[in-house]
Amino acid sequence: MTHVVTLNAGSSSLKFGLFTLQSDDPVAICTGVVDRIGSEEAHIGAKTSDGRVLGGAVPEGIPDHLEAMNHVLDLLAQQFPGAEIVAVGHRIVHGGPDRDRPILLTPDSLQALEGLSPFAPLHQPYNLQGVRAAIRRFPDAAQVACFDTAFHRSHPWVNDTFALPPEYYEMGVRRYGFHGLSYEYIANHLAKTAPLLHGGRVIVAHLGNGASMCGMINGRSVGSSMGFTALDGLPMGTRCGQLDPGVVLYLMEQKGMSAEEITELLYRKSGLLGLSGLSNDMRTLEQVGTGAARRAISYFNFRARRELGALAAVLGGLDAVVFTGGIGENSVLVRERICGSMGWLGIELDHDANTDHARIISTPLSRVQVMVIPTNEELVIARAAARFVYPEMYQGQLDTAAPDIA
């Protein structure tokens, strides 16, 4: 029986999955995550399809992603000794302006992707470390890159450009958008379960430690809150979100901060953590209830409402809102605060359904349907990898072309 491994490397974590290719859709038989890579508090947690819990603390720590990869693959080899790995699917955050679908990795394409690391410094280097480790472990397996930016390559020009001279656009300074694997999963899920909504105007709110929103028409991205990097748009766990570029100039010219210091501030010391002075975890902020924590939550929700209204204007109306991601799927408070003041847009929240974490949390009379759908990036990656080894068995991805917007 053949299998696919999926790898989703973050700055200090590694999500993984093992999928069997025995049906018309890959089936997960084990999924998990390695947390706190680079510390002595590293932990591996995994769960199998039959309910077994695997892993645990790693007393000696895990110094880097290569070692994390070895721990993961050793665990999978011990638990599933008969697995034949024919492909490894990798989440790669940045694919550049031209890659609008997964690719089979080669030495040349890997080198090209390394050149995009400055665009996603928190993610791209670690994504590529995972690729190198997988190539060493599975030299005969297909190595498939799945890009977070690819889903948004359907943006019309007005949502893809900045008001800069055109030569900057040609050199790659443009709005890329991110979280594309999550949005692709939601688009495919809606196509199967709610085709009428899928064919309409939908805003998906991927809210987590990284947060963004995407406006879709007929399942295709026409606008995203994130831009040139994963810093833009909504405030996040440790990232600032939208920021006047004059602030960066001020910090450089008047405060003498270096590029490295500003990068550290904007990527790692801002967002919910910076505003609260306490934590980047929404659960913690909701529990402590300090004034600073409440202000951080209020700012997060305010920016989300603002982006929701802006994307509704981009779409020319709204048929559905989908919450996903760690915060979107689990925070009753955040969903309530974002939707509670949106009656003018046609959103009427069912507070009991929201509290119960129902799939549909709008009232039957709401003109806009509000849904909560858990995302599954690993399944999107597994499907893409499977298509490269068994193209006759697995269908292609959705057409991502989008209508132009004047």
CA–CA distance, 315 with 309 (Å, rounded to integer): 10
- The three-class DSSP label of residue 293 is helix
Cα(374)–Cα(324) distance, rounded to whole angstroms? Answer: 5
Q: What pLDDT shows up at residue 167?
A: 97
- DSSP readout, 32-66? EEEESTTSTT-EEEEEETTS-EEEEE-TT---SHH
Domains 2-147 and 193-372 share a fold: yes
- The residues near 260 (Cβ < 8 Å, ≥ 6 apart) are none
pLDDT value for 35: 87
The pTM (predicted TM-score) of the whole model is 0.92
Q: Say what angle helices 259-268 and 245-253 make with each other, to 10 degrees.
A: 140
Helices 180-193 and 377-389: angle between axes, nearest 10 degrees: 90
Task: Judge whether 362 and 369 are in contact, CB under 8 Å.
Answer: yes
Name the phi and psi angles at 401, rounded to 5.
-65, 145
Tokens (6 digits) for 208: 């987590």
Are residues 353 and 361 in contact, defined by beta-carbon separation less than 8 angstroms? Answer: yes
CA distance 186 to 220: 11
Each domain of the chain, given as residue ranges in start order, spans 2-147, 193-372
Quote the pLDDT of residue 357: 97
Out of 148, 160, 232, 319, the active site residue is: 148
- Domain made up of 2-147: CATH architecture: 2-Layer Sandwich (3.30)
Query: Is the Cβ–Cβ distance between 181 and 247 less than 8 Å?
Result: no
Domain 193-372 fold is Nucleotidyltransferase; domain 5 (3.30.420)
Each residue's pLDDT expressed in tens, for the chain with a length of 406 residues: 899 999 988 767 889 999 999 778 999 999 999 988 887 888 999 999 999 999 999 888 899 878 888 889 889 989 999 899 999 999 999 999 999 999 999 999 999 999 999 888 878 988 898 898 889 889 999 999 999 999 999 999 999 999 999 999 999 999 999 999 999 999 999 999 999 999 999 999 999 989 999 999 999 999 999 999 999 999 999 999 999 999 999 999 999 999 999 999 999 999 999 999 999 999 999 999 899 999 999 999 999 999 999 999 999 999 999 999 999 999 999 999 999 989 999 999 999 999 999 999 999 999 999 999 999 999 999 999 999 999 887 765 444 334 444 3
Which of 277, 246, 248, 281 shows the shortest CA–CA distance to 263? 248
Whole-number pLDDT of residue 403: 41
Q: Give yes or no: 148 in active site.
A: yes
Distance CA(287)–CA(331), nearest Å, equals 12
Looking at residue 395, its pLDDT comes to: 62
pLDDT value, residue 404: 43
